[in-house]
Amino acid sequence: MTLETVSEAKAFGGCQGVYSHQSEATGTGMTFAVYVPDHVAGAKLPVLFYLSGLTCTHANVMEKGEYRKACAEHGIIFVCPDTSPRGDDVPDDEGYDFGTGAGFYVNATEAPWSQHYHMRRYVEEELPAIIAKHFPVDMERQGITGHSMGGHGALTISLRNPGRYKSTSAFAPIVSPMNCPWGEKALTGYIGADKAAWREYDACALIEDGARLPDLLVDQGHADNFLEEQLKTHLLDEAVTKAGMDATIRLHEGYDHSYFFISTFMADHIAWHAAKLKA
């Protein structure tokens, strides 16, 4: 597979790069960002995957997430994929919450989305293989995190792949797409009307069905205007409590859904991941 360098810049002693390639999973070109901190030649570093939310690309967290200083301090590689396939031949929707920018990290089964919308396969299989081939990563030490729709992606991908990720966290995640307008629209459109097929894309349903994580960190702004209708953090709190699963779910007064919120707690998350990835 050919990996093209779009840009590279030095930051906090390391390299912030943007790269592109032709994806087998989506059948389109894909672009992602990677920050590699300064390290001893030949060293293999732990890696943290960050999944972005609705309307975003790799660029949002790269430009606003303020992760590089913490990654440099802890020796963590930070990987930021796109949220969906893009291109002139890729189906789209007029709404911001479906189609381009809103892949929901599923493998679509419904036409016309099923041709390209395979972000689950891309994040679970193709992207890690590319990262392992081209960057100095120790794939035995992977973590995953994300924001909003990307938080949904991080939670469900980790729950479906027990043991792969040594650490899992999320910022303001959609915890139960089966029970919110964003999720109902996306899962109906991509997967179809059979709600039984939705459960593997719903963190609360996965936990209810027996999936577990060794630990979990979630931060949520109390002033987030999507909290009550779309995010419903209380459902995750109820699910982990009922399951007896270790989880730290923190609500923060005054914080909204933006990257001002994410950047405030990004260093906390990276330090939390680093402690587990280096254990």
15 located within any domain: no
The Cβ of residue 259 has, within 10 Å, a number of other Cβ atoms equal to: 19
Q: What total number of domains does the chain contain?
A: 1
259 located within any domain: yes
18 located within any domain: no
pLDDT of 279: 81
Q: How far is the C-alpha of 183 from the C-alpha of 231, rounded, in Å? A: 10
> Domain range for residue 190?
47-278
Query: What's the pTM value of the predicted model, to 2 decimals?
Result: 0.98
CATH value at residue 110: 3.40.50.1820
Q: Which residues contact 130 (CB under 8 A, 6 or more apart)?
A: 1, 3, 21
199 located within any domain: yes
32 located within any domain: no
| Chain position carrying tokens 């915890």 | 175
75 located within any domain: yes
Task: Give me the mean pLDDT over the 167-192 stretch.
Answer: 98
Residues assigned a catalytic role: 148, 224, 257
pLDDT tens digits, 215-264: 999 999 999 999 999 999 999 999 999 999 999 999 999 999 999 999 99
28 located within any domain: no
- Cα torsion at 48, 50, 51, 56 (round to 10°)? -160
6 located within any domain: no
